[in-house]
Structure 1
Amino acid sequence: MTLSSLAAFVGLCAILALTPGPDSFLVLRCSLSNVKAGLSAAFGSSLGSIFWAGLAGIGLAALLEQSAEAYRVVKIIGGLYLIYLGVSAFVHSRRSQIASQQHGGPGVSGQMRSSFFAGLVSCLLNPKVGLFFLAVVPQFLPSGEESFGLTMMLGVIDFAISMIYFGILSFVATKAVLWLKRPTVTKTLERTSAAILAVLGVGTAVSASS
């Protein structure tokens, strides 16, 4: 791989990371609790790229490209999961408000674990990430070669870029909440981001079944 190809891939990953999507809203929602929860969601979501790179590198992810049914099933499951995240986030915002008044709210470690797994599962159930590594990554590999190692390296690069962007998003969101530290504003942001996740999930599931 030439330096120009590597630079082009980095630029493409940066553009895709900056494009708003379910992972961005998930990181934003988790960051409203605290920066550690936001970074955990960012790490989980970014780590999913390496998983998809591994599947693409050994050829298993080609199933999504060859089978419309498999792609549809994964997309529907991903949409349902986003709906679940949105609904559970909305319910959690109501319960956490009461719990924080009575018991001080859930522990940070518990939030970090749940945020990490939410980010990871969200990425793993997003077939578009798998198709990215199947359709786009080969364009940056040396002609006539299928290198598992190089594919994984590109996956790590995508992970790093996503982590940097999501990390910045998490810090900015957390600082904004601290600056606006008003219960009504925080509650509105939490429920709005939860609603966006649910709407994205409905849209994903409907587009897959149509």
Structure 2
Amino acid sequence: MDAQLVAFTLFAAGMVAMPGADFTVVVRNSLVSRRAGVASAIGVAAGLLVHTALAVAGVAAVLAAVPALFRALQLVGAAYVLYLAYRALRSAARPRDMAQDVVTVRAGGLREGFLTNALNPKASITFLSVLPQFVPAGSPAMPRTLLLASIVVALALLWFPVVALLVDRLGRWLRRPRTARAIEAVTGAALGVLGLVLLVEPVLA
């Protein structure tokens, strides 16, 4: 058994499952419809694919070497997360038109999931710093790194659709107007905090 591969899989599973902007966006869209939630989940996995590809190609090293570029991308990501927070809080503050939400979120779920993940440059830096630790000494780096990157994407493709399906399973209770608006408020606040952290961090750095 490849102990390093097992260790990386466990580490990656924890990293993927850790609640954050990706998780929040998938849950929010799943409240509208199962299809919208799964679309968001696939979008998140696609965003992870971008980061792993960048790390494998070494482009992430450029972000680490050029702080101004990294901070610019971080600000763009923060702005997008704050935009999602604004939408969630606005939705929580007014009566919901569920039929209209289904049309709107179904169309944008994939895009939201992808952009929420892809616009976070920290993911590329994380992959760049972590992946080499699990490449055995003397082994070809490229095939091993591709395998590790594939594991991360595969775990995302498993985890986030499961989250979407579980939320949809509880949908009858979660979609009650009062409950749905409360969840919108909580997710909006969570996204707002995440967006502010991303916004303030490069300014204070």
Fold match by TM threshold 0.5: yes
- Which residue number in structure 2 is paired with residue 105 of structure 1? 100
Q: How far did 1:164 drift? A: 1.7
- Which residue number in structure 1 is paired with residue 145 of structure 2? 151
Q: Please say if residues 28 and 170 of structure 1, whose CA atoms lie closer than 8 Å, have aligned partners that are also in contact.
A: yes
Q: How far did 1:56 drift? A: 1.5
- Indicate how the Cα distance of structure 1 residues 37 and 96 shifts in structure 2: closer, same or farther if over 3 A, else same: farther
Q: Paired residues, what number?
A: 204
Q: Please say if residues 76 and 209 of structure 1, whose CA atoms lie closer than 8 Å, have aligned partners that are also in contact.
A: no
Q: Provide the TM-score with structure 2 as the length reference.
A: 0.89
Q: How far did 1:173 drift? A: 1.6
- Indicate how the Cα distance of structure 1 residues 179 and 88 shifts in structure 2: closer, same or farther if over 3 A, else same: closer
- Which residue number in structure 1 is paired with residue 117 of structure 2? 123
* 1:105 partner amino acid: Q
- Which residue number in structure 1 is paired with residue 16 of structure 2? 17
Q: Deviations over 1:22-52 (max 9, x none)?
A: 1111111111111111111111111212111
* 1:75 partner amino acid: Q
Q: Deviations over 1:85-132 (max 9, x none)?
A: 1112333556772x44xxx42555x53331111111111111121012
- Which residue number in structure 1 is paired with residue 69 of structure 2? 70
Q: Please say if residues 29 and 194 of structure 1, whose CA atoms lie closer than 8 Å, have aligned partners that are also in contact.
A: no
- Which residue number in structure 1 is paired with residue 40 of structure 2? 41
CA RMSD of aligned residues (A): 2.1
Cα distance in 1 for partners of 2:172, 2:187 equals 17
Task: Select 2:177's aligned residue among 174, 183, 186.
Answer: 183
Cα distance in 1 for partners of 2:112, 2:39 equals 9
Identity within the alignment, %: 29
- Which residue number in structure 2 is paired with residue 91 of structure 1? 90
Q: Kindly indicate whether residue 54 of structure 2 is the aligned counterpart of residue 55 of structure 1.
A: yes
- Which residue number in structure 2 is paired with residue 30 of structure 1? 29
- Which residue number in structure 2 is paired with residue 172 of structure 1? 166
Cα distance in 2 for partners of 1:107, 1:181 equals 12
Q: Deviations over 1:53-104 (max 9, x none)?
A: 211222211112112222221111111110011112333556772x44xxx4
Cα distance in 1 for partners of 2:199, 2:137 equals 37
**Structure 1 moving runs of 4+ over 6 Å:** none
Q: Please say if residues 37 and 164 of structure 2, whose CA atoms lie closer than 8 Å, have aligned partners that are also in contact.
A: yes
Q: Provide the TM-score with structure 1 as the length reference.
A: 0.87
Q: How far did 1:144 drift? A: 4.9
Q: Kindly indicate whether residue 203 of structure 2 is the aligned counterpart of residue 203 of structure 1.
A: no
- Which residue number in structure 2 is paired with residue 194 of structure 1? 188
Gaps of 5+ in 1: none
